[in-house]
Chain A
Amino acid sequence: MTSPTGALTLSVENVSVHFGGLYALSDVSFDVAANEIVGLIGPNGAGKTTAFNVVCGFLRPQSGTVRFPHLGRSDLRPHQLAHAGIARTLQGVGLFERLSVLENVMAGAQSRPGGGVLWGALGLPRSSRGERLLRAEALSNLERLGVAGYAASLPGEIPYGIAKKVAVARALMVQPSLLLLDEPASGLDENELEEFARVIIELGTTTSVLLVEHNMDFVMPLVHRLVVLNFGQVIAAGSPEEISHDETVLAAYLGVDE
Chain B
Amino acid sequence: MFRTVSQRYPTGFRLVATVVLCAVALAITFVLTPLDDSKLAGGAAMSIVILGLSWLIGWSGQVSLGNAGFMAIGAYTTAIWANHHTTSPIIWSLFLSTVLGGVSGFVLALPATRLRGPYLAGMTLAFSFAVAPLAIDSRSLTGGSGGLFINFLNSPSWFANLFSGSDALVKANAQWPADVAIVVAAVAFFFMANLFRSRTGRALRLVRDNEVAAELVGVNLQRTRTLAFVISAAYAGLGGSMMTLLSGSVTPQTYGLTLSILLLTLMVLGGIGTLSGAVIGGLIYSYSDNIVSIVNKVTGVNPTSTFGANLKGIVFGVLLILTMMLAPRGLVGLGSYLRRLVRR
Cα A107 to Cα B203 in complex, Å, equals: 8
- State the CA gap A87–B218 with chains docked (Å): 10
A202 to nearest B CB, angstroms?
22
> Are the CB atoms of B218 and A120 closer together than 8 Å?
no
Does A97 reach chain B (CB closer than 8 Å)? yes
Give residues of chain B (206-252) contacting chain A, Cβ–Cβ below 8 Å. 206, 208-210, 212-221, 227, 231
**CB-CB under 8 A for A124 and B11, given A95-B210, A98-B205, A130-B199:** yes
**B194: chain A residues within 8 A (beta carbon):** 120-123, 127
Binds B, one of A33-41, A77-85, A204-212, A221-229: A77-85
A95 and B213 in contact (CB under 8 A), knowing A102-B6, A110-B218, A125-B11?
yes
B15 close to A (CB within 8 Å): yes
Any B CB within 8 A of the CB of A197: no
Q: How many A residues face the partner with a CB closer than 8 A?
A: 47
Q: Does B210 contact A123, Cβ atoms closer than 8 Å?
A: no
If A78-B216, A115-B200, A120-B198 touch, whether A96 touches B191 (CB-CB below 8 Å) is: no
CB contact list, A131-174 vs B, under 8 A? 131-132, 135, 152, 154, 170, 173-174
CB-based contact B7/A110 at 8 Å = no
**Known contacts A117-B227, A120-B200: does B14 contact A98 (CB below 8 Å)?**
no
State whether the Cβ of B163 lies closer than 8 Å to any Cβ in chain A. no
Asked whether, in the complex, the Cβ of A96 is within 8 Å of the Cβ of B213, the reply is yes
| Chain B residues closer than 8 Å to A214, beta-carbon distance | none
**Any B CB within 8 A of the CB of A99:** yes
Establish whether residues A123 and B216, one from each chain, have CB atoms under 8 Å apart when the complex forms.
Answer: no
Query: B312: CB under 8 A from chain A?
Result: no
Beta-carbon nearest neighbor of B11 in chain A:
A123
**1/0 per residue A88-100: CB within 8 Å of B?**
1010001111111
B149 shortest CB reach to chain A, Å: 34
- B5 proximal to A (CB < 8 A): yes
The residues of B that contact A173 with a CB separation of less than 8 Å are 217
Tally of B interface residues using CB under 8 Å: 41
Q: Which residues of B contact A135 (CB under 8 A)?
A: 6-7
Residues of B within 8 A of A50 (CB): none
Closest to B194 in A: A123
Contacts of A95 in B (CB 8 A): 210, 213
The smallest beta-carbon distance between B203 and chain A, in angstroms, is 6
Q: Given A111-B218, A131-B7, does the pair A97, B209 have CB atoms closer than 8 Å?
A: yes
In contact, A121 and B217 (Cβ under 8 angstroms): no
Interchain CB contact under 8 A, A121 and B205: no
**Chain A: interface secondary structure?**
helix
Number of A-B contacts (CB under 8 A): 132
- Chain A residues near B220 (CB-CB < 8 A): 79
Binary flags per residue of B258-295, CB closer than 8 Å to A gives 1, else 0: 00000000000000000000000000000000000000
**B213 and A115 form a contact (CB under 8 A):** no
- Asked whether, in the complex, the Cβ of B191 is within 8 Å of the Cβ of A90, the reply is no
Task: Determine the residue in chain A with the shortest Cβ distance to B190.
Answer: A123
* A residues less than 8 Å from B14 (CB atoms): 123
Bound Cα distance from A81 to B2, whole angstroms: 29
Partner of A115, one of B198, B214, B215: B198
Q: Is the CB of B217 within 8 A of A82?
A: yes
User: In the bound complex, what is the Cα–Cα distance between A83 and B210 (angstroms)?
Assistant: 19
Taking CB atoms and an 8 Å cut-off, the chain A residues in 102-124 that contact chain B are 102-103, 106-111, 115-117, 119-124
Q: Bound state CA distance, A81 and B215, in angstroms?
A: 9
Select B7's contact among A80, A83, A128, beta carbons within 8 Å. Answer: A128
The answer to whether A110 and B202 touch across the interface, beta carbons within 8 angstroms, is yes
User: What residues of chain B lie closer than 8 Å to A15, measured between beta carbons?
Assistant: none
B141 close to A (CB within 8 Å): no
Known contacts A123-B11, A131-B7; decide if A96 and B215 are in contact (CB<8 Å): no
Cα(A130)–Cα(B215), bound, Å: 21
Does A56 interact with chain B (Cβ within 8 Å)?
A: yes
Residues of A within 8 A of B11 (CB): 123-125, 128
* Chain B residue with Cβ nearest A82: B218
Interface residues of B (CB under 8 A from A): 1-7, 10-11, 14-15, 190-195, 197-203, 205-206, 208-210, 212-221, 227, 231
Given contacts A100-B6, A122-B191, 8 further A-B contacts (CB under 8 A): A82-B218, A94-B216, A106-B202, A108-B217, A121-B198, A124-B11, A128-B11, A131-B6
29 examples of A-B residue contacts, CB within 8 angstroms: A58-B212, A79-B216, A79-B219, A80-B218, A88-B216, A90-B212, A90-B213, A94-B210, A94-B212, A94-B216, A95-B210, A96-B206, A103-B202, A107-B214, A115-B199, A117-B200, A120-B195, A121-B198, A121-B200, A123-B14, A123-B15, A123-B190, A127-B194, A128-B7, A128-B197, A131-B197, A135-B7, A170-B217, A173-B217
